[in-house]
Chain A
Amino acid sequence: MAIYINRDLCSGCGLCVEICPFNGVKLDEEDIAILLDACNECGACIDECPVEAISIELIKEGVIDISKYSGIWTFAEQRDGKLTRVAKQLVGKARQLADILGVRVESVLLGHNIAELAQELIQCGADNVYLIDHPMLENYQTDLYTKAIYDLTMEKKPEIFIFGATHMGRDLAPRLAQRIQTGLTADCTELTVDETERHLLQTRPAFGGNIMATITCKNHRPQMATVRPGVFREPEKDLSREGNVINIKPDISKSYILSRLVKFLKLEKKIVKLEEAEVIVSGGRGLKGPENFPLIQELADLLGGEVGASRAAVDAGWISKDHQVGQTGKTVSPKLYIACGISGAIQHRAGMQASETIVAINKDPDAPIFKIADFGIVGDLFKVIPELISVLKAKKEKEMVV
């Protein structure tokens, strides 16, 4: 629940300030009513306001006027001044949905000295970019990002708002959805819209990917969802595409910060960047033990790729969790995914079925992985992989000579 003041309607009469029993509202320097932390959400000001500028967003059917919400928003996550791949993937998806609904795609970009990223979002398909540039937003901080985006959301009222299901997105989106008091669906693998009802149909795996569920958020706006990186394709950039960059001055200050960033720490070990990899070679239960992962590594190295693993291999302790592909691991969509000794439980498939080309090597001809493989080799991986390695090595040498 939240009291909301529409700045466009407020006449600055000050009746709300007089009636408020908690000193929870005042007139700002432009003579427009703003809420203070002392607001108790009692609602006394709502009846008092002669111009109906004050409303309360109740979670009750029909109270929120859904028709006032329009447009599809994406959260444009940037790290160290670069857009994440998922930020671009979201714009591509939002463009498709917006064209069906006949609305605008708008991206929300927060940070400091990141104005040039706005053009990249426009080239990916955004019509407008809300640029919130502020020194305090340089690094992600839950409370400031939530405050800045909450204020903008309540003012502009988008009907759909999507986020990448990255660590940042999954820290921010729930906090924001709770403040807005709207629904949020996690880790969607497909988003479509119902044209007549304008509902966002949010499909996601449940029970470890064993079933799929389509979720809707009928009476609350915006309809919020997070989407795993790699689920949607990155759109082709149109360098001639034009759009508007709208600068937003956030109402943030130190007083809003609850958790304070102390410092960034260096990592000792190499980060496994499965989500970014073009080639992934994964091993599963069929590898029989940790001593056989170097075979997978050798093949991955030859192909310039990363090593992935099934949950079974990770749970058995053969390889660390950061290699895990699947519903409870990472969702990947490389150009080439080679599954070695992985039966292909749905929980694994949920994390890799968007790969462009899938190769499966497995002894069991009935293994479910073959159902989604473009190329399947039925055979002993301990014989097939060494052969594959020697073919690759031989061709490589030959090409070097030529």
Chain B
Amino acid sequence: MKFIVCIKQVPDTTNVKIDKRTGRLIREGIPSIINPEDKNALEVALRLKEEFGGEVIVISMGPPQADEALREAIAIGADRAILLTDRAFAGADTMATAYSLGSAIKKIGKYDLVLCGRQAIDGDTAQVGPQLAEFLSIPQITYVLEVNIEDNKIIAIQELEDKRVKWEADLPALLTVTAEANKPRYPSAYGIMSAYKEKEVEIWKMKDLDVDEKRIGMDGSPTSVKRIFSPEPKGKGEIIKDEPKKAAEILFNRLRAKNIL
């Protein structure tokens, strides 16, 4: 079976800091990582490969340095890695991203399962997965917790806000995988050797794909950023500095006065 895992290299937003004076994002020194839930998607692919055999291909669209994320994926266990990198792809919104990734997947040829993380921690959109499934005209199952393949069908448990749902679809299909699905494995010593000494990340440019130039990058993106700004703080509240017992009583009285308690 052929498993394709879409991964994204993202800044580790847990470490993002703001310059206190300017209110701007400090970008320097922020480590880049594989988007956490994409690792859960990779883990699903690796486990299915162990059970059913086949090949795990990781694919990413991004700047040349995304090579690092793909090598890490090889070290974790992927068999093959493809990086879509071209200035023409830059500035893509989720629709143009889905089109570009989808065109690359079509070039890979026959596949059984496409796996994505539920969402990326830099954008948090959770849109590329379903948009990719629509572009490829294949079934989608989102928010996936558990996966199984039976009789050439995918069986997946989806987690909703108030319930879980069991879905079934014919292959090929696309899944978006949540952090709760599994615990991703670490790179193995053999994997690290393979990633940095043996295997290469294949570089695909725009001209390597059968794509319409108007549908990629910024030109192919219906949405654009009009303005970027720092969030504004809310108006000043009351600070209670009394000792704990007194402070608790004051707070209680204030909340009571506002009809909250």
Contact = CB atoms under 8 A, between A and B. Distances in A.
B160 interface: yes
Nearest to B154: A259
B141 interface: yes
B106 to A, nearest CB: 15
B189 interface: no
A383 B246 CA distance: 11
Contact of A358 (B134, B237, B249): B237
A211 B236 CA distance: 21
B260 A59 contact: no
Contacts of B51: none
A376 interface: yes
Given A384-B244, A384-B248, A387-B247, A212 B164 contact: no
A208 B169 contact: no
A265 B165 contact: yes
Contacts of A166: 161
B122 A206 contact: yes
A265 B156 CA distance: 12
B94 A210 contact: no
Nearest to A260: B168
A149 interface: no
B222 interface: yes
Given A170-B126, A183-B223, A261-B167, A212 B231 contact: yes
A295 to B, nearest CB: 14
Contacts of A152: none
B222 A142 contact: no
Given A210-B16, A262-B155, A377-B247, A372 B122 contact: no
Given A178-B134, A357-B255, A215 B231 contact: no
B121 interface: yes
A187 interface: yes
B124 interface: yes
Contact of B222 (A143, A217, A328): A217
Interface in A239-282: 258-265, 267, 271, 273, 275
Contacts, number: 249
Contact of A208 (B122, B164, B180): B122
Contact of A207 (B122, B179, B223, B258): B122
Contact of B124 (A187, A259, A273, A380): A187
Given A215-B225, A262-B167, A183 B247 contact: no
A181 interface: yes
B234 A371 contact: yes
B124 A184 contact: no
Nearest to B160: A167
Given A174-B131, A217-B222, A207 B239 contact: no
Given A167-B143, A174-B130, A370-B237, A210 B13 contact: yes
Contacts of A311: 14
Interface string B80-121: 000000000000011100100000000000000000000001
B251 A375 contact: yes
A357 B234 CA distance: 12
Contacts of B133: 175
Interface stretch (A28-36, A119-127, A285-293, A342-350): A342-350
Contacts of B125: 186-187
Contacts of B142: 167, 170-171
5 contacts: A175-B131, A215-B226, A218-B224, A357-B258, A371-B234
Given A175-B130, A178-B131, A357-B258, 9 more contacts: A177-B127, A205-B124, A213-B225, A261-B165, A359-B251, A372-B237, A384-B248, A387-B247, A390-B248
